[in-house]
Amino acid sequence: MHHIIPSQSRGLTQIDWLQSYHSFSFGGYYNPDRMGFGPLRVINEDIVAGGAGFPTHPHANMEIMTIVLQGSLAHRDSLGNGAAILPGDVQMMRAGTGIRHSEFNPSATDACHLLQIWVLPQADNAPPAYQQKSFAVLNPAVPAPEGWQLLASPEGAADTDGPLHILQDARISAARLGASQRVKLTPQTGRRYWLQVMQGAVAVAGLGEDALKLQAGDALTLENDSRSADIGWAASTGDNEASLLLFDLGR
């Protein structure tokens, strides 16, 4: 079973310094049919104006991932962490028992384009933690590795070269594709998948006679799939790259 979630069906918050698209109910946007997908609770695509940002605010009991697509974002938190998040970086913040942080666009003129993702943890009240790593698959200034690159998993760790650690049965991967390039996924019975197109456009083959065409901001869900056939994701627009984010989620 699969569904396409069109970009234009997302909620929108628009104020003088922020344009934010919500895949799920968030803030003033409420849709009872969009309350999350398994433990995946938030995918916000934010465009933050230069010199603006989110003042210090609290979080608790949430695994929060930030991916900057363009520009930079300055992070400060109550654990004493302070870092710039750049294209290619993934920040993971475990809110746990409670954390306060701020996010600010340090450029006076250039907008910051980012994704912020919230995943419910398997267990509440873990100690707060902070992780940040750079991944070639997300950095347009370097060649993309082939296939999916794992960004976060339950087996990950901040002090290794592999994925970051997430306190949930979730594996979050990314791929960057040039024209005619493709990556494959073999769906596993009993798991659910959310594919988010971050940039560019792709065609998804293997779900029917005709390939499904997705644009930036669109999503595709796969759920209760009993097949084990390969599904190909292929870049579909000229010489432009496409970047994808894949959530492999337990029940």
Tens of pLDDT, residues 15-73: 999 999 999 999 999 999 999 999 999 999 999 999 999 999 999 999 999 999 999 99
Q: Which two tokens stand for residue 163?
A: 């994925």
The closest of 67, 62, 228, 250 to 171, measured between CA atoms, is: 250
Specify whether the CB–CB gap between 100 and 54 falls below 8 A: no
Spell out the CATH class of 2-249: mainly beta
When mean pLDDT is compared across 8-22, 47-61, 188-202, 206-220, the lowest value belongs to 206-220
Q: pLDDT digits over 127-180, tens only?
A: 999 999 999 999 999 999 999 999 999 999 877 889 999 999 999 999 999 877
Please compute the mean of the pLDDT values over residues 182-192 and round it to a whole number. 84
Please compute the mean of the pLDDT values over residues 209-230 and round it to a whole number. 79
Residue 210 in this model has a pLDDT that exceeds 70? yes
- Write down the domain spans for the chain: 2-249
Q: Which two tokens stand for residue 183?
A: 């990556």
Q: pLDDT digits over 86-135, tens only?
A: 999 999 999 999 999 999 999 999 999 999 999 999 999 999 999 999 99
> Sorting pLDDT into bands at 50, 70 and 90, what band is 187?
confident
The closest of 187, 184, 222, 186 to 202, measured between CA atoms, is: 184
Residue 231: the pLDDT is 65
Residue 36: the pLDDT is 97
Q: Which amino acid, 143?
A: P
> Sorting pLDDT into bands at 50, 70 and 90, what band is 183?
confident
Residue 232 in this model has a pLDDT that exceeds 70? no
> Sorting pLDDT into bands at 50, 70 and 90, what band is 209?
low
